[in-house]
C-alpha cells in the first residue's frame, strides 16, 4: 500500500502547525510536527545543562545519544495535543520563544539532525502523513506526493506571534519578536545541512494577506490535484 505524504515547509510563524493539523484531520492522516521534536530536544539538552556546550565533542556525543532516545509522547485530548517529555507535560513550555531558539540551535548541528531522521521517518504510516517542518520536502520526505512551502513576511509573522503569546498571558514586545524571527530565519536558511528553502516542485503560498480558511482552501485544492494523479 502506497503511503501518501503531504509536506508543509516554511519559516517560523507562517501557520504551518495549525494548517498541518487541519490537513491531517481533513484527510484522516497521521501528523508529524518535526519542529516539536527539535524543541523537545532543545528543552531536554537545556534541562541537562548541555545546550551551551555542544561544541565540546564528549557533550555532543552525549547529546546525540539523548536525541536518539528522547522519551516523548504525544497524547490527544479535548483541548488538543498534549506533549510529554520524560513523563512531564511540556505542551506550553516548548512553545516559548526561548525553546524556539534552542530548537533552531540544535537543528543547525548535523549530528543532532541525523539522530532525529529515523524518528521522523517512522511517522510515515498508512494511510498517509502530513509532515510539518523546515526540510520535510527537501530532505526527510523528498518522495512526497504533495509538497507545500508556506511563507509570510517577517512582520506579519511577528504580529501573529505577539497575539498568540499575549493570548497565553505573556507580556511581549513586537520589536523583540520580530528580531527573534529574523535571526531564526537567517540561522535556518544559512545552516550547512538541510537549509530552509522550497523544494523545486513545491507549491508556494504566501499567507501574509490570507486568513486560515483561504490558505486551507488553496492547500486542499492543490493536494487533491496531486493525489489524484
Average pLDDT over residues 199-213: 95
Outline where 28-96 has alpha helix (H). 34-47, 57-68
pLDDT (0 to 100) of residue 78: 66
| Helix/strand/coil for 4 | strand
Residue 111 grid cell: 549530528
Strand partners, 32: 131
Tens digit of each residue's pLDDT (9 = 90 or more) over 132-190: 999 999 999 999 999 999 999 999 999 988 988 888 788 888 999 999 899 989 988 98
Share of the chain above pLDDT 70, in %: 97
| Helix/strand/coil for 145 | coil
pLDDT (0 to 100) of residue 215: 97
Query: Could you count the other beta carbons within 10 Å of the beta carbon of residue 194?
Result: 19
Give dist(CA 154, CA 162) in Å, integer: 12
| Helix/strand/coil for 88 | strand
Q: Which residue has the cell 503569546?
A: 165
Give dist(CA 13, CA 29) in Å, integer: 23
Q: Which residues contact 107 (CB under 8 A, 6 or more apart)?
A: 38, 113, 134, 188, 191
Residue 216 grid cell: 486551507
Residue 46 CA to its chain's centroid (Å)? 19
pLDDT at 11 over 70: yes
Average pLDDT over residues 66-87: 82
> Is-contact 205 215, C-beta < 8 A?
yes
Tens digit of each residue's pLDDT (9 = 90 or more) over 82-135: 888 999 999 989 988 899 889 988 988 999 999 999 889 988 999 999 999 999
pLDDT (0 to 100) of residue 45: 96
* CATH number for domain 4-224, candidates 3.40.50.720, 3.40.50.280, 3.40.50.1100, 3.40.50.300: 3.40.50.300
> Element (H or E) spanning 20, and its range?
helix 16-27
Share of the chain above pLDDT 90, in %: 62
pLDDT (0 to 100) of residue 75: 74
pLDDT (0 to 100) of residue 188: 87
pLDDT (0 to 100) of residue 157: 94
Amino acid at each position: 500500500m502506497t503511503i501518501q505524504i503531504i509536506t508543509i515547509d516554511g519559516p517560523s510563524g507562517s501557520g504551518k502547525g495549525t494548517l498541518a493539523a487541519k490537513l491531517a484531520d481533513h484527510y484522516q492522516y497521521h501528523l508529524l510536527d518535526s519542529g516539536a521534536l527539535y524543541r523537545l530536544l532543545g528543552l531536554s539538552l537545556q534541562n541537562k545543562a548541555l545546550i551551551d556546550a555542544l561544541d565540546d565533542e564528549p557533550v555532543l556525543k552525549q547529546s546525540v545519544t539523548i536525541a536518539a532516545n528522547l522519551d516523548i509522547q504525544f497524547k490527544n485530548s479535548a483541548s488538543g495535543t498534549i506533549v510529554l517529555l520524560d513523563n512531564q507535560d511540556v505542551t506550553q513550555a516548548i512553545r516559548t520563544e526561548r525553546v524556539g531558539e534552542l530548537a533552531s540551535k540544535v537543528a543547525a548541528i548535523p549530528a543532532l539532525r541525523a539522530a532525529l531522521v529515523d524518528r521522523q521517518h517512522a511517522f510515515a504510516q498508512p494511510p498517509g502523513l502530513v509532515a510539518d517542518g523546515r526540510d520535510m520536502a527537501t530532505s526527510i520526505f523528498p518522495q512526497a506526493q504533495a509538497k507545500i512551502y508556506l511563507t509570510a513576511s517577517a512582520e506579519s509573522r511577528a504580529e501573529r506571534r505577539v497575539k498568540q503569546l499575549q493570548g497565553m498571558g505573556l507580556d511581549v514586545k513586537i520589536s523583540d519578536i520580530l528580531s527573534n524571527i529574523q535571526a531564526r530565519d537567517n540561522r535556518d536558511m544559512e545552516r550547512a545541512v538541510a537549509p530552509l528553502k522550497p523544494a523545486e516542485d513545491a507549491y508556494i503560498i504566501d499567507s501574509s494577506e490570507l486568513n486560515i480558511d483561504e490558505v486551507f482552501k488553496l492547500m486542499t485544492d492543490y493536494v487533491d490535484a496531486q493525489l489524484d494523479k
